[in-house]
């Protein structure tokens, strides 16, 4: 036994089991409080319920009695979960459920007068099968999570880093994917002209229909086509038409269309030439407080290949704000299923109009977080803010 070097008395040993238990709990929870763990579980449970309930609602006929509807919902919910597994794993799950339903079984052997009985508790074997099934599902999740993380890194490379320096214009932007990868796209990049006076800056915000991997893949094609087609010395309307024809070849007959706001900024004359292809109308707040909506354009990209697009031009004066956003901003919901809405967005812009775009962006994201609370994000959120300044 260890002794104290000064008193010679037995040294006080730390509570080894208590330390180990705290370390174990820290490793399990990653430092989250109980309230945070519950909020995380609640969010994941709601997301899972929405996933399965879509299948249930699609297969629930009208006219059922209350009892019949309850039984139908339970049965369809079971199949909605069951059919998400591979056939081999379905067999494992069925065996485990059957074993759980049988409390125990006994076998007798031997001759008359010397019969011996052996009992088997099938609950242990059922638990073992469920554990094996859990391990298989976790393995799939780990592989998928790794692949999604790689996809997210690639997508991050496609999006711009620090905002570029544009004479007379301050810029800030941000995106929050609803899943690991997003279907929203934003970009700000130069478009050289034949002369210095013809140099422009391209502003783009787009939203691909759908979410996660399919939308992210189409977002990548949108980014590549925009960067490639922008090198041609054509006016904005022809560029939009070319983008649309390219998108129609990848939209699965219009099912995977893309809404987009595409604009060219002329730093010399402070003019913005734009096309709104079915996107949420950006908000132009003038320095005097008046509000304009940029709504000139046409259909979303990817629906009809020969659509003609109209363009419009506005002049940005010092103090003017331009707010370009996707529907994930205004359609963000709280626990009561109320939407954030454009009224709150306008109020946020009004409250922060004296600041800079980065300050406004922080304010907007904070207002969104305060509004939705712990409600899971159901759509990608993207916002691009511009403020006209003096040269």
Domain 161-388 architecture: 4-Layer Sandwich (3.60)
For the chain, give every residue range classified as CATH 3.60.40.10. 161-388
Distance between alpha carbon 69 and the CA centroid of its chain, in Å? 33
**Distance separating alpha carbons of residues 115 and 316, to the nearest angstrom:** 97
pLDDT digits (tens, 9 = 90+) for 243-274: 999 898 877 776 789 999 999 999 999 999 99
pLDDT digits (tens, 9 = 90+) for 120-133: 778 888 899 999 99
Distance between alpha carbon 278 and the CA centroid of its chain, in Å? 21
Nearest alpha carbon to residue 90 among 102, 77, 81: 81
pLDDT digits (tens, 9 = 90+) for 203-212: 999 999 877 7
Q: Which residues have C-beta within 8 Å of that of residue 293, sequence separation ≥ 6?
A: 281, 282, 283, 284
pLDDT digits (tens, 9 = 90+) for 148-185: 788 778 778 888 888 888 988 999 999 998 877 778 99
């Amino acid at each position: 036994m260890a002794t104290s070097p000064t008193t010679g008395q037995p040294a006080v040993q730390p509570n080894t089991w208590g330390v180990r238990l705290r370390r174990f709990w820290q490793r399990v929870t990653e430092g989250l409080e109980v309230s945070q763990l519950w909020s995380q579980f609640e969010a994941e449970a709601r997301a899972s319920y929405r996933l399965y309930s879509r299948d249930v609602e699609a297969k629930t006929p009208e006219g059922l009695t209350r009892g019949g509807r309850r039984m139908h919902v339970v049965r369809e919910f079971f199949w909605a979960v069951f059919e998400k597994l591979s056939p081999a794993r379905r067999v494992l799950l069925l065996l485990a459920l059957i074993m759980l339903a049988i409390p125990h079984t006994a076998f007798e052997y031997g001759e008359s007068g010397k019969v011996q009985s052996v009992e088997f508790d099938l609950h242990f074997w059922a638990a073992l099968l469920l554990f094996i099934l859990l391990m298989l599902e976790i393995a799939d999740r780990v592989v998928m999570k790794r692949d999604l993380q790689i996809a997210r890194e690639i997508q991050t490379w496609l999006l711009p880093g620090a905002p570029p320096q544009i004479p007379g214009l301050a810029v800030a932007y941000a995106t929050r994917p609803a899943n690991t990868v997003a279907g929203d796209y934003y970009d700000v990049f130069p478009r050289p002209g034949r002369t210095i006076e013809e140099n422009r800056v391209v502003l783009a915000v787009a939203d691909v229909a759908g979410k996660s991997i399919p939308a992210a893949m189409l977002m990548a094609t949108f980014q590549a086509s925009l960067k490639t087609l922008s090198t041609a010395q054509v006016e904005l309307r022809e560029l939009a038409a070319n983008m649309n024809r390219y998108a129609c070849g990848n939209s699965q007959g219009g099912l995977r269309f893309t809404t987009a706001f595409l604009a060219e900024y002329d730093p010399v004359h402070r003019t913005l030439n734009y096309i709104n292809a079915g996107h949420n109308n950006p908000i132009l707040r003038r320095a005097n407080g008046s509000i304009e909506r940029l709504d000139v354009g046409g259909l979303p990209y990817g629906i009809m290949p020969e659509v003609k697009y109209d363009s419009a031009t506005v002049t940005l004066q010092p103090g003017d704000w331009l707010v370009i956003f996707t529907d994930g901003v205004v359609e963000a919901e709280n626990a009561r299923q109320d939407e954030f809405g454009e009224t709150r967005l306008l109020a946020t812009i009004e409250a922060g109009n004296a600041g800079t775009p980065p300050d406004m962006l922080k304010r907007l994201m904070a207002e969104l977080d305060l509004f939705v609370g712990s409600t899971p994000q159901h759509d990608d959120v993207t916002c691009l803010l511009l403020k006209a300044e003096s040269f």
